[in-house]
Amino acid sequence: MQKKRKKYKPWMKLDNAALIYPATMNRNWTALFRLSATLREPIDEDILEVAQKRTLRRLPWFSYKLKRGLFWFYLERSDEMPKIEQDVGNPCVRIRLKDSDGFCMRVRYYQNRIAVEFFHVLTDGTGGLVFLQTLVAEYLRLRYGADIPRGERVLDCAEPPRPEEAEDSFASNSGTITQTRSETKAFHVNGTDERGGFVHIVTGSMDAEAVRQKAREKGVTVTEYLTAVLILSVDAIQRKSTAHVHRLKPVKICVPINLRNVFPSKTLRNFANYVNPGIDPRLGVYTFDETLNIVHHFMAMEVTKKLLNVKITTNVRTEQNRLLRLMPLFIKNAAMKYVYSQVGDAISTTTLSNLGVAKLPEEMAQYVRRMDFILGPLADNRVCAAALTYNGRLRINFTRTIEEPLLEREFFTRLVKLGVHVKVESNQAE
């Protein structure tokens, strides 16, 4: 007889990084990101639903609902399941909690593709990728009877949930020293607003090994290489639009850092931080090598256990502030909105989130043709980019809420000039 499963926690606090997202969301914007896997055959909705159910049993807090408390938002357990949806032409459009019944993620499918869109309160890219891989593995098991070895990246749905996977690793890794969050404001790419909230997705796919070779020639990592190209692309756009040298603003790229690589943590909730490498174009025109050098050494300096610990501590201390804790939620939200407007998107030009390489077990990889990572539109920045490598292809997805594809064009043509072969795809209307 099957043992009755013990119910998981009835409610959860938001983790430290997640606090800002419900406070800053509004009717037309939620901080989302999307991970998708494209299989070789069309998706069966019913099987996908069963796979989702089993995956949610292993990772139960993904189906928790976001609720308002008197002082904080919290996640509440629910026994319902989010509905499987048909995909749409403009992915990552805001989740309206009223429409989604409070669920903070949605599984969508189109043709051969399974996509999961996550509200950032639940998890970050790494946690999302584990969820997607487990979901796809479960789907493949049910659909084709594939026997996929389970481990840390592809979880075994027969096991009970592990508490360490749902811990707030920020709290356990904070120290004592804090620093200010304020930074100089950065240049923003502007353009004509897309009416009705259409989100443009332009995907550039390239040979991962070729890019890695290019980066290795310069002695930098792939993320640093792409960041430098992106910085120079933005710089070119800014120089075209601004005549006065004095009016040029710093170009800074927000690069998320996976803290699991730096701190010991098994959490599958948010555990990432950001660094903002960039240049000040007022000082003159930067060459590619100079920019690479700046980005490389900036990352070496900032992405260290000590400095990241200071950043984590700053955020955790704010959360622990008694005055802030006692403020009613609606005042807290207003305060957090203000802080976000000052030190959120304002201090970076755009985001380049590189999730690295998705490695699947051989038994699973034969069914999965491609994987994508898309960031939802940011609050104030109109263009952002996300990268994921799978099966030897590095795919960079640009998300844009303005009409003009300025940054993508500059970025991809620059890569072509650097000798990288780029293949482009998009969700543009026919």
Positions in the binding site for other proteins (CB under 8 A)? 27-28, 86-91, 93-94, 110-111, 196-198, 200-204, 405, 408-409, 412-413, 416-417, 421-430
Nearest by Cα to 108 from 129, 92, 125, 97: 92
Helix (H, G, I), strand (E, B) or coil at 226: helix
Write down the least CB distance from residue 294 to other proteins, Å.
27
Strand bridging mode 113-119 / 105-110: antiparallel
Q: In the bound complex, what is the minimum distance in angstroms from residue 107's beta carbon to other proteins? A: 15
Q: How far is the CB of 63 from other proteins (least distance, A)?
A: 22
Helix (H) or strand (E) holding 293: helix 288-302
> Which of 81, 52, 38 has the alpha carbon at shortest distance from 142?
52
Phi, psi of 328 (to 5 degrees): -60, 155
Query: Side chain identity at 199, as an amino acid letter?
Result: V
- The rounded distance, in Å, linking the Cα atoms of 65 and 98 is 11
Q: How near is the Cβ of 177 to other proteins at its closest, in Å? A: 34
Tell me if 161 sits within 8 A of 155, measured CB to CB. Answer: no
Question: At closest approach, how far in Å is the CB of 209 from other proteins?
Answer: 17
Residue 87 CB, nearest distance to other proteins (Å)?
6
In contact, 63 and 81? CB cutoff 8 Å: yes
109, 84 contact by CB (below 8 A): yes
Q: Closer to other proteins at the Cβ: 317 or 393?
A: 393
Check if the beta carbon of residue 246 is closer than 8 Å to that of residue 282. Answer: yes
In the complex, minimum distance from the CB of residue 198 to other proteins, in angstroms, rounded to a whole number = 6
Closer to other proteins at the Cβ: 266 or 409? 409
Give the rounded distance of the alpha carbon of 378 from its chain centre.
10
Q: Which is nearer to other proteins, 141 or 400 (CB)?
A: 400
Parallel, antiparallel, or unpaired: how do β-strands 65-68 and 73-76 relate? Answer: antiparallel
DSSP state of 29: B
Comparing CB distances to other proteins, the nearer of 197 and 328 is 197
Toward other proteins, which CB reaches closer, 101 or 156? 101
Distance CA 83, CA 131 (A): 16
Which C-beta is closer to other proteins: that of 86 or that of 176? 86
Q: What is the 3-state secondary structure (H, E, C) of 310-348?
A: HHHHHHHHHHHCHHHHHCCHHHHHHHHHHHHHHHCHHHC
Nearer to other proteins, 28 or 241 (CB): 28
Among residues 92 and 228, whose Cβ is nearest to other proteins? Answer: 92
Q: By the 8 A CB rule, do 139 and 69 touch?
A: no
User: What's the one-letter identity of residue 419?
Assistant: G
Pick between residue 111 and residue 261 the one whose CB is nearest to other proteins: 111
Q: How far is the CB of 411 from other proteins (least distance, A)?
A: 9
**Which CB sits closer to other proteins, 15 or 117?**
117
Q: How far is the CB of 117 from other proteins (least distance, A)?
A: 11
CB of 204 to other proteins, least distance (A): 7
AA identity, residue 397: N
Strand locations in 169-325 (E): 200-207, 251-258, 272-275, 278-279
